[in-house]
Structure formats: C-alpha cells, structure tokens
C-alpha cells in the first residue's frame, strides 16, 4: 500500500489538479500567467509533467513486464486522460473541447515520458535499493569514476 501511494499518489494528485483547473470557466482568473503563453504550450507542459509522473509510477510500482512497457503505457495513460479532460471541458461553461488540445496533451506526454526516461540518472527503476539516498550517491560516484577512467 505504501508503494502504491508513493508512486501513484502524485499521479492522482496532479490529475486532480488538472481536473480542477479544467473545471474553471475562466482559468486566467486562477492562473494569471495563462494569458502570457499559447494554450498549446501550456497543454504540452502540463501533460509532460503528468506523463513523467505516470512513467515513474509504472516503473516504480509495476511488475517486470509492466516496467518493460512503461514508455508506451505511460504515454497511452496520459493521452487517455487528455481525452477525458477534453470531454470534461465540453461540459464546462465558457470552455470548449478541441482535438488540437488533445494532440498537444499527447505531445506533452511523449516529451515528459521520453525526457524522464532519457535524462533521469537513475531511471526510476522502482527498486528500493536503488532509490534510497545512499545507493543513489554510490551510483553517482561509480558513474563519475567510470567517466574518468
């Protein structure tokens, strides 16, 4: 249960935040910087974070076969949440649903998932041994020594 909360808690919390923001008829009143950027850029950033969190959750809490499919599974899960968000927005006053928003959501999912997979130093393997601070420090020191050699 602790593992479930540790990995999926942030996903659920962030998804709830997206749902809350999508429920607002005028999001610029709650998040003033919305008007500074194209809404597509905001969709990409918003769903890149969700995609990265989904990838982390799948890698950290799944069995070995799920971990092997973490990239496509996280992208699919995030993209499906984007679809549900667009359907939800169709029922919110002064908001509309757009397939272009969903496309931006999916692009964001790809960016977030590939980014965390590619650039994370420890890859969120989910192994408890690898995720404690001492093991991470040892891994970083070993990698540093390997580069010097």
Q: What is the pLDDT of residue 85?
A: 96
Question: pTM for this one?
Answer: 0.76
C-beta of residue 14 within 8 angstroms of C-beta of residue 53: yes
Residues of the chain with pLDDT under 50: 125-131
97: which DSSP letter? Answer: -
Q: What is the pLDDT of residue 26?
A: 75
12 Cβ partners below 8 Å, 6+ apart? none
Percent of the chain scoring above 90 in pLDDT: 55
Domain boundaries, the chain: 2-148
Q: What is the pLDDT of residue 145?
A: 59
Query: Cα dihedral sign for 135, 9, 113, 41?
Result: negative
Q: What is the pLDDT of residue 127?
A: 44
């Amino acid at each position: 249960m602790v593992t479930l909360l540790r990995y999926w808690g942030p996903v659920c919390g962030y998804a709830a935040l997206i749902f809350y923001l999508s429920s607002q008829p005028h999001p610029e009143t709650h998040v003033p910087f919305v008007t500074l950027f194209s809404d597509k850029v905001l969709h990409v950033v918003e769903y890149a974070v969700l995609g990265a969190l989904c990838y982390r959750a799948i890698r950290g809490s799944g069995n070995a076969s799920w971990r092997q499919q973490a990239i496509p599974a996280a992208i699919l899960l995030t993209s499906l949440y984007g679809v549900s968000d667009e359907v939800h927005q169709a029922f919110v006053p002064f908001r509309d649903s757009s397939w272009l928003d969903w496309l931006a959501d999916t692009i964001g999912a790809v960016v977030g998932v590939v980014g965390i997979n590619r650039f994370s130093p420890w890859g969120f393997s989910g192994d408890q041994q690898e995720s404690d601070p001492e093991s991470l420090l040892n891994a970083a020191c070993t990698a540093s020594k390997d580069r010097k050699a």
